[in-house]
Chains A and B, each alone.
Chain A
Amino acid sequence: MAAEVKPGSMSKTAPPVNSTPFLRVDDIYLRFGGLNALSGVSFDVQQGHIQAIIGPNGAGKTCILNCICRFYQPYRGTIYFQGVDLSKVATHRVAALGIARSFQNIELFKGMTVMDNIKLGHHVHMHSGFLSGGIYLGRAKSEEMRVRKEIEERIIDLLEIEAIRKKVVGTLPYGLQKRVELARALAMKPKLLLLDEPMAGMNLEETEDMARFILDVNQEWGVTVVLIEHDMGVVMDISDNVVVLDFGTKIAQDTPLEVSKNNHVIEAYLGSDAAAHSKLGL
């Protein structure tokens, strides 16, 4: 249970909660064979922010999320979430700390219904085991009912997916699957939501919907968001702060407006031609 740190429940020797950053990525290095995927990346994420991470293809954005989720182990450096050193947390325990994510290539359970996928997001908040679940009386049953009600009222309503909740995920179009993946992440009741290109491959309307959902979740539920996104318009609109990566190093971190004026960023991210400037909306 040591991994479950609640704000305010720390012992006196630990620093007070409000002075520890919500998420601190501290000088991490990650290597694949000869390739340095990340070299010395550091940044803090403020609680309640929408933190964007941008950078060209292969810059190492997804690698950072994979390090936070404990899929990858950086060979140097540490990541702290609310003061907890994540390198000491088992992969499956990260969810219980309050970290949820979506994937660049959708990682849903394709053969299950939308509802079951979202229920799986609730896994760490449910208690029935192989005995009570198999007998399905009393506690297990009321738990299923309660969770289902909660999902219908909180998540399905919010994301406007009533119509598809009994559909098998594999049969849904791409845009809706992305939305279901967000729904599953939200069912985990996260404090920190990691989104890897949630708008990739979406049309304008779907992109706008998704941006609205992210803002809703951030503002109404107070969930901190780390957002990897290529669509600069979205990043400019909804993020509070932007980290720019290039070849595994951080080349800038600032507000969206400042970042878009930064010459290094413009050069690294988009090349130095005029078209790039117009892409950034300048």
Chain B
Amino acid sequence: MPCGLFFSKYEKDDAIFKTVWLKCWMTVLVVLLLTFPLFSQKFSEMLGLNVTNLLNLIFVYIIGAHGLNLLTGYTGQISLGHGAFMGVGAYTTGILANAGWPFWLALPAGGVMTAAVGMLFGIPSLRLRGLYLAIATMAAQFILDYAMRNWTSLTGGSSGLIVPSASLFGFTFDSDQSFYYLALAFAIMATMYLKNLARTRTGRAFVAVRDRYLSAEVIGVNLFKYRLMSFGISSFMVGIAGGLWAYYITIISDEHFTMWLSVQYLAMIIVGGLGHVLGGIFGAVFFVVLPELLRLPAEAATAVYPNIFGIFASLREMVFGLIVIMFLIFEPDGLAARWHTVRNYWKLWPFSY
């Protein structure tokens, strides 16, 4: 190859983990994640929580949060419908699984269905920006919410839909430990996908649409196409999250996919970091772990004063809200931005003098 020299130079520059130490840390992290179920039991007993269960939820939320981050953080289109979109994925996958579709078909089919629904409700984005789009997608949330609750022949309504566990190549993922690996694999895939998309043509076009759409058109970016495409990919991802959730929880009802979930997703990526790949990860961890951590002292206090349990429970909600607000005030760019500054400092650790 005549350009071999340049090629290798750019390729090195192109790698995600550039320094040796970053590679080491990543290896440590991967090994920890892979071996985690081996010592999760002890860990859970120590903390008095089901840690594997929490991690599984985190992985599922990471996929959905990446999806919303692609739409809101990268393309600049807000959505208050992603809770319901997750429901579309969950129900589609669940219904297909009940109809005998195998996991490897039902899950992507749920994603595709959600992408179609998301694009349909994303059509207003071709005309609407900001708050107006928020209201339009909120309408999607309410419409879908209503359908999930009342189309009982399809969804089982409030009594729920029972879904079998996922099984792949004859192996059934019916325990927290086994599902852990499935969810981890999907979370990693979603993360890699977002990272790669963000640094190639499509991802740059999304950011161009977000930052200056006139300028984007001048350089040949088709605004309509990319706005809709962003809705499609984003909904696909949150639909996959919904499908995995259905396989994990094995009974889904409309209560999971309310406005509250949409708001939570939005809060996740804002706290985590809009337009950062790490944003969805930090956000999902934050929103799954923090309520649990707050539950521990609340329960301990209740054990001592059982008659005022209600107060501690609501105190917990308030503290949670307060912490979120504090984060928004003191880390307005999200945890990911903070992480980048810290990492730049420690980049060459232990040689960072």
Chain A residues near B (Cβ < 8 Å): 69, 71, 90-96, 100-101, 103, 107-112, 116, 119-121, 123-124, 126-130, 133-136, 140-141, 143-145, 148-149, 184, 188
A145 touching B10 in the complex, CB below 8 Å, given contacts A107-B215, A108-B215: yes
A148 to B10, Cβ gap below 8 A?
A: yes
B189-220 interface bits toward A, Cβ cutoff 8 Å, 1 = contact, 0 = none: 00011101101111111011001101111111
Q: How far is the CA of A144 from the CA of B208 in the complex (A)?
A: 17
Does B218 contact A130, Cβ atoms closer than 8 Å?
no
Pair B212/A130 contact, Cβ less than 8 Å: no
Whether A109 pairs with B211 at a CB distance below 8 angstroms is: yes
Q: Is A124's CB under 8 angstroms from B200's CB? A: no
- B208 near A120 with CB under 8 A, answer yes
Chain B residues lying within 8 Å of A111, measured Cβ to Cβ, are 207, 211
The residues of A that contact B305 with a CB separation of less than 8 Å are: none
**Does A124 contact B215, Cβ atoms closer than 8 Å?**
no
Contacts of B1-60 to chain A: CB distance below 8 A: 3, 6-7, 10-11, 14
Is the CB–CB distance between A123 and B204 below 8 Å? yes
A109–B217 touching, CB < 8 Å = no
One of A103, A123, A128, A130 near B233 (C-beta < 8 A): A130
By the criterion CB–CB under 8 Å, are A95 and B219 in contact? yes
Which A residues lie within 8 Å of B98 (CB)?
none
- Contact, CB under 8 Å: A96 / B14: no
Contacts of B199 in A (CB 8 A): 136, 144
Q: Which residues of B contact A108 (CB under 8 A)?
A: 212, 215
- 25 pairs from A and B in contact (CB 8 Å cutoff): A91-B218, A92-B221, A92-B222, A93-B220, A107-B218, A109-B212, A119-B204, A120-B204, A123-B204, A123-B205, A123-B208, A124-B220, A129-B201, A130-B229, A130-B233, A133-B197, A134-B193, A134-B202, A136-B192, A136-B199, A140-B196, A145-B7, A145-B10, A149-B3, A149-B6
Q: What is the number of contacts between chain A and chain B, taking CB atoms within 8 Å?
A: 106
Known pairs A128-B200, A128-B201, A134-B194 / 8 extra A-B pairs, C-beta < 8 Å:
A120-B204, A121-B219, A127-B201, A130-B197, A134-B197, A134-B200, A149-B3, A184-B219
Task: Flag if A140 contacts B200 (CB, 8 Å).
Answer: yes
Q: Shortest distance in angstroms between A177's beta carbon and chain B's nearest beta carbon?
A: 13
* Most chain A beta-carbon neighbours within 10 Å: one of B11, B14, B202, B216: B202
Q: Which of B211, B212, B219, B222 has the most CB of A within 10 A?
A: B219
Contact A92 B217 (CB under 8 A): yes
B215 touching A133, Cβ below 8 Å = no
Give chain A residues whose Cβ lies under 8 Å from the Cβ of B216: 120
**Nearest chain-A residue to B197 (Cβ)?**
A134
Known: A107-B212, A123-B220, A128-B201. Is A145-B196 also a contact (CB below 8 A)? no
B223 is an interface residue with CB less than 8 A from chain A: yes
In the bound complex, CA of A116 to CA of B193 (Å): 19
Smallest CB–CB gap between A166 and chain B, Å? 9
Give Cα distance in the complex from A133 to B196, angstroms.
Answer: 6
Residue contact A136 to B196, C-beta cutoff 8 Å: yes
CA distance A113 to B200 in the complex (A): 14
Q: Which of A120, A141, A188 contacts B205 (CB 8 A)?
A: A120
The listed residue (A103, A107, A110, A126) touching B201 by CB distance below 8 A is: A126
Smallest CB gap from B195: residue in A: A136
Question: B234: shortest Cβ distance to chain A, in Å?
Answer: 11
In this complex, what residue of A is CB-closest to B212? Answer: A107
Instruction: Enumerate chain B residues within 8 angstroms of A129, measured Cβ to Cβ.
Output: 201-202
A72 and B211 alpha carbons, distance in the complex (Å):
21
Q: Which B-chain residue is minimally distant from A148 (CB atoms)?
A: B10
Are B220 and A96 interface neighbours, CB within 8 A? yes
Residue ID in chain A nearest B211 by CB atoms:
A109
Give chain A residues whose Cβ lies under 8 Å from the Cβ of B214. 71, 107
Task: Give the shortest distance, in Å, between B11 (CB) and chain A (any CB).
Answer: 7
For B196, B197, B201, B216, which residue has the most chain A Cβ atoms within 10 angstroms?
B201
**Contact between chains at A116 and B204 (CB < 8 Å):** yes
A95, A100, A109, A130: the one within 8 Å of B207 (CB): A109
**B14, B196, B219, B223: the one within 8 Å of A123 (CB):** B219
Q: Is the CB of B223 within 8 A of A92?
A: yes
Decide: B215 and A109 in contact? CB cutoff 8 A: yes
CB neighbours of A126 from chain B (8 A): 201
CA distance A23 to B196 in the complex (A): 40
Does A123 lie within 8 Å of B221, measured CB to CB?
A: yes
Distance (whole angstroms) from the CB of B18 to the closest CB of chain A: 12
* CB of B245 to closest CB in A, whole Å: 22
CB contact under 8 A between A101 and B218, given known A123-B205, A130-B229, A133-B201: yes
Q: Least Cβ distance of A234 to chain B in Å?
A: 23
Instruction: Give the distance in Å from the alpha carbon of A144 to the alpha carbon of B3 in the complex.
Output: 14
In Å, the complex CA distance between A91 and B194 comes to 29
Most chain B C-beta atoms within 10 Å of own C-beta, residue among A101, A128, A130: A130
Nearest to B190 among chain A residues (CB) is A134
CB pair A133–B202 under 8 Å, yes or no, is yes
Residues of chain B with a CB closer than 8 A to A112's CB: 204, 207, 211
The 8 Å CB contact of A144, one of B14, B194, B223, B233, is B14
Question: How far apart sit A119 and B219, CA to CA, in the bound complex (Å)?
Answer: 10
A148-B205 Cα distance, complex, nearest whole Å: 16
Chain A residues within 8 Å of B221, by CB: 92, 120, 123
Bound complex: CA of A121 vs CA of B7, how far in Å?
21
Contact, CB under 8 Å: A124 / B3 = no
A96 to B11, CA, bound (A): 29
Complex Cα gap A29–B251 (Å):
65
Cross-chain contact of B200 among A71, A93, A109, A133 (Cβ < 8 A)? A133
For B194, list chain A residues within 8 Å (CB): 134
